[in-house]
Amino acid sequence: MKSAGNPWPLVSQNELQAMAYSDPLTGLGNRYRLRDKVRLLANERAADPAPFTICIANLDGFKPINDLFGAEAGDEILCQVAHRLKACIPDGATVTRHDGDEFAFVLPLVFERIGAERLGQMMKDVLSAPYDLGDRNVRLSASFGFAIYPFAGEDFEELLKSAETALYRSKRRGRGQITVYSREIAQEMKRATQVEQALRHAIINDAVDVHFQPIVNIADGSPAGFEALARWNDPDLGFVSPSVFVPLAEERGFIDALSETLLRKAAEAALAWPRELFLSFNLSSAQLMDPGTSRNILSTLSRVGLDPRRLELEITETAVMSSADTAARIIADFRHAGVGISLDDFGTGQSSLGRLRDFTFDKVKIDRAFVSRITSDRASEHIVKAIIAMCDGLDLAVVAEGIEEKAESDMLAALGCGMGQGYYYGKPADGPKTMRYLGDQYRDFMSMQRA
């Protein structure tokens, strides 16, 4: 039935309500449906608070796929995800589209952590199967955050916040992780937020420092360059490991600001070194996904006045594969400017040989996991020997990392490894100590010349 003068059919109150509670793309319920289901269940169990669980699932790596194949393909994947989830959730459970590439669940019959983890693993397996986009298939993983009523909260907002906290911890740990909220996890996340705020303050106040570890020519022990390493000593937190604060800067979206500060300080220090020495600097996976990275780093070098040909950027295989097409363009920009590219931690990835074929590198750094066992484990010795021979054939320079003993250095020299790095040659040191190290090296060289 149409109203007079109105070409559109009238919509009933029930239809309007259904629209308000539904996701138009997938046909699932939306956040309002989730809220009402949780509140209804909590009210039913208030007198005798029997547990139930809510969950949020996030598709790992959905945005790059959406960007690569287009929004239409992204929508098709979301619809396929919705179909799979509806088919696999337990009886009595509800699945909703929470936000973008996130889905949420109300699970009345999941009462404790083990049950939640078991269900999360099942859903993860279901979502990891290939998605059909007609002429191509794509794969995704998913991360999960669970919150159990009433332990993780007694109302909808508190439960949702707990599930989001658990999901955030899963995302911090990598792809395809499952986390059930606990008070310990809440404290861990609170600590991370405290570190984040202190780090942001330290960057603004130029309080994050750079230390330098020598990379030497193994044949004579002379320095070839230095790797820049971040160091941070906070007045309240004390020494904070870079393995803590660098990933945190990536996760919270301010790695560019941290990297710019560190590179500026490192490049300024390198200006005082002999010109033949290079500066090695680490790029994060987040930076290799940002098309503006090459412009930002080259701009920093220009402001400081350091020749780009003296800079080498270290990247890991994992970082390259986070967004291979973007990474390839960034690497090409750097190489065009004269910046060297090193593949770090070589041998630990699952397809390192493929990376050497697909990308253009100048140098390979052999992971310390092999170097540390080179004198006691024949398999490690043969792996290192094979890597050196392969790099020689590909005209790639080689650096062995983690050298701590003379015997390791001697064996690497016998195998033909060109450069080495590790405590045997020198621990990371600040700028003034690095200059004293260079002065000592120069005096030693002059003494050898006179002898």
Identify any residues that bridge with 106 across adjacent strands, giving them in sequence order: 54, 94
Nearest to 206 by CA among 284, 265, 255, 267: 265
**What pLDDT tens digit does each residue of the chain (451 aa) get?**
444 555 555 556 666 666 788 899 999 999 999 999 999 999 988 777 789 999 999 998 888 787 778 888 899 999 999 999 999 999 999 999 998 899 999 999 999 999 999 999 999 999 999 998 887 888 889 999 999 999 998 899 999 999 999 998 898 887 899 999 998 988 888 888 899 999 999 999 999 999 999 999 999 999 999 999 999 999 999 999 999 999 889 888 899 999 999 999 999 999 999 999 999 999 988 898 888 999 999 999 999 999 999 999 999 877 776 667 788 899 999 999 999 999 987 766 544 566 666 677 899 999 898 898 898 889 889 989 999 999 998 899 999 999 999 999 999 999 999 999 999 999 999 999 999 999 988 676 556 555 5
Residues 6 or more apart from 440 whose CB is under 8 A from it? Answer: none
Burial class, 78, CB count within 10 angstroms (exposed 0-12 / middle 13-18 / buried 19+) = buried
Q: Which helix (H) or strand (E) holds 168?
A: helix 156-173
Identify any residues that bridge with 145 across adjacent strands, giving them in sequence order: 56, 179
Residues 6 or more apart from 48 whose CB is under 8 A from it? Answer: none
Q: Are 242 and 255 in contact (CB under 8 A)?
A: no
Burial class, 284, CB count within 10 angstroms (exposed 0-12 / middle 13-18 / buried 19+) = buried
Question: φ and ψ at 394, to 5 degrees?
Answer: -95, 5
Please state the domain extents for the chain.
16-181, 192-450
Question: φ and ψ at 34, to 5 degrees?
Answer: -60, -50
Q: Which residue type does 399 have?
A: V
CA distance 27 to 78: 11
**What is the model's pLDDT at position 11?**
57
- For domain 192-450, the CATH class is alpha beta
Cis, peptide link before residue 150, omega less than 30° from 0: yes
- For domain 16-181, the CATH class is alpha beta
**What is the model's pLDDT at position 327?**
84
- If you ran DSSP here, which 8-state letter would residue 338 be given? T
Instruction: For the beta carbon of residue 77, count every other beta carbon within 10 angstroms.
Output: 20
**What is the model's pLDDT at position 355?**
61
| Cα dihedral sign, 361-367-371-376 | negative
Q: Are 143 and 178 in contact (CB under 8 A)?
A: yes
Q: Which residue type does 157 have?
A: E
